[in-house]
Structure 1
């Protein structure tokens, strides 16, 4: 399969402050990646950099073979980068269905398909974004990203602060996207074992640098190494 995404010696941050340093990795269509590490090591900044929202000091980012360093965020989204930010960004003046239709771009995903994997959103389709529970907002954030028919889904802490029953529901959906539909994903998640169970490959960041790169299964099987690298269960 052809290369989908490639970072080569990326150093990036906010203004003059450097958060990521010399980061290199690549992904092909259908690859799934767990992005792990302690708090504050640059995981979210890496996703934000992929969306063009940090300052790139050096290095290159290629998408489907083309350089996207100077491509604005909205064009990256149109090109197939589907971002689900940690903050979710619900619009209080839009209903659930309006959140979905306003970003729809045609292609593989439409309302019936979204409602099939998230039946709760169909039940709440006339509710405003700020009338949803935290779990429902997270479902909507993922569904909204899917409605742009992304080629890769960037998930930033999708399970944070959610009830166990909602976590299980989201795990089912993400696992289905990855394993049944072959969608490319990058998952940033503090619950390392959960992220590893969803993905094929794992990268661990420390102080903005990649300190570990392996298949997810081998890291999941080595509990001592995992705990040493990420210090979380």
Structure 2
């Protein structure tokens, strides 16, 4: 498979503060990656570095072979990076359907396909963004990112604070995106075992550095190592 994304010795942060140090990894088209680690180790910072929202202190970021280290955030989105931030960013003045149509780019994802995988959004299509439950807002955040027709989806804590029934719905959607749609996905998730069950590969961050890289299934099978790396229950 062709290379989709490659980070080579990336150091980045906020102003003069460096949060990520010497981070290197690659992803191929259609690959899925779990990004794990304790709180505050740089997982979210890595996602927003991919979107161009931190200060790059060193290294390179390649997207389909081209250097995007200095490319503006909106141009990265147009190039195929879809970001679902932890905050969700719902607009109270827009309906569900307006949230989707305002970003539509005419690719493989349209309203019909979105409503097929998120029937709840079809039911709520005339509701305003702030009239949705937390789970419905998360569905809308993912759906909105899909409407840009991304090649990779960056998911930041997609299951945080959601009811178990909603978590199961979202897990089915993410698995479909990976297995049926062939979409590349990076998942940041505190529930490490859940993230590993969704992905092919895993990396673990500690203090802004990669301290472990493996396939997801081997890390999931080694409970002692997983507990040491991410302090899960």
Pairwise same-fold verdict (TM > 0.5): yes
Report the Cα distance in structure 1 between the residues aligned to 2:21 and 2:123, rounded to whole angstroms.
45
- Per the alignment, residue 139 of structure 1 pairs with 139
What do you get for the CA RMSD once the two structures are aligned? 0.5
Query: How much does 1:174 deviate?
Result: 0.3
Runs of 4+ in 1 over 4 A off after TM superposition: none
SS of the aligned residue for 1:229 comes to helix
Q: CA deviation at 1:182?
A: 1.3
> Is residue 2:178 matched to residue 1:178?
yes
TM-superposed CA distance for 1:84, in Å, is 0.1
C-alpha separation in 1, matches of 2:97 and 2:232: 37
1:123 corresponds to: 123
The corresponding residue for 2:93 is 93
Q: How does 1:58-97 map to 2 (within 5 A)?
A: 58-97=58-97
Deviation at 1:151, TM superposition (A): 0.2
Partners of 1:179 and 1:204 lie apart in 2 by 23
Aligned to 1:193: 193
SS for the counterpart of 2:204 is strand
TM-score when scaled to structure 2? 0.99
Report the CA distance between 1:180 and its aligned residue: 1.8
Aligned to 1:152: 152
**Counterpart for residue 20 of structure 1:** 20
* 1:68-125 deviation per Cα after TM superposition (whole angstroms, max 9, x unaligned): 0110000000000000000000000000000000000011100000000000000000
Q: How many residues align?
A: 233
**Cα distance in 2 between the residues matched to 1:167 and 1:2:** 32
- Residue segments in structure 1 that go unaligned for 5+ positions in a row: none
3-state secondary structure, aligned to 2:105: coil
* Map of 1:30 onto structure 2: 30
CA distance in 1 between counterparts of 2:82 and 2:54 reads: 17
| Alignment pair present for 1:216 and 2:216 | yes
After superposition, residues 33-44 of structure 1 pair within 5 angstroms as 33-44=33-44
Distance (Å, rounded) in 2 between the aligned partners of 1:154 and 1:166:
19
After TM superposition, the score normalised by the length of structure 1 is 0.99
Deviation at 1:130, TM superposition (A): 0.2
